[in-house]
Amino acid sequence: MKNYFLSFCMRFAKYILSLETMKILRFIRGLAGRKPAYAPMLTQQATFLVMASDVLCRMVDTTDASRWRQCEKEIKACEVQGDALLSELHEQLYEDIVSAVTRSDIQTISMNIDEFMDGINYSAKSIMLYMPQRIDQPVRDLAQYISSEADAIRIMMPLLGELKKNSALIHVQCERITELEHAADDAYAEYIGEIFTNESNAIEVMKYKNIVEAFEAATDSAKKLSDNVRNILLRYM
């Protein structure tokens, strides 16, 4: 029994060593200059964000319900493709070694992009849900802020492959997102005051309030992503 236990321990130790050896070899290959696989995938995720946000801007420029439905379908298609990329990226993280940004960091950024996409999708759904009589200018402004945030994220994602080289450029886009989110907060607060002051129909007040809240929440998701990218820069620079 003692010999059997000793043999088992030796085999188990060899197995652990083999796993560690594989990790070391993969790490060496990563340091040898292989381009990170996650950067183009995050960039593609961000591209779907831009596409969806552009459709959202078109959606708020009309009060035609049939065009709203078409826009909602297009945004949903972007979300579905983004979700597929998210799953693919998570699978890739189990296979590839990442030398600078950790797996959890990449996963966090990818999930933040997905959360932003969900916010865009819900903004479109809120219009379809409440069928407002009009789309006011502050809502159009918020859609433009969302679109600009998506563009900043699209620019930022390929830069993450080389943090030290691109840190200044990444910081510029983070600042851009912060400024856009602050502008969105101001537009949201002002519009809430306007509808409570000028709109006498309580049901319409609820409709406009819930729609603008959905748009504002989407801008917050972009800021959350930007803050996480800043934290990564602080840790690895």
- Residue 133 tokens, joined: 């009589």
Q: Which residue type is seen at 152? A: A
Tens digits of pLDDT across the chain (237 residues): 545 544 544 454 454 444 444 443 343 344 334 445 677 888 889 999 999 999 999 999 999 999 999 999 999 999 999 888 888 887 776 665 554 457 788 889 999 999 999 999 999 999 999 999 999 999 999 999 999 999 999 999 999 888 888 999 999 999 999 999 999 999 999 999 999 999 899 999 999 999 999 999 999 999 999 999 999 888 876
> pLDDT value at position 208?
95
Helical pair 202-236 and 163-198, crossing angle rounded to 10 deg: 160
pLDDT of 19 reads 43
Q: How many CB atoms lie within 10 A of CB 77?
A: 14
Structure-token pair, residue 202: 């309580």
pLDDT the model gives residue 101: 57
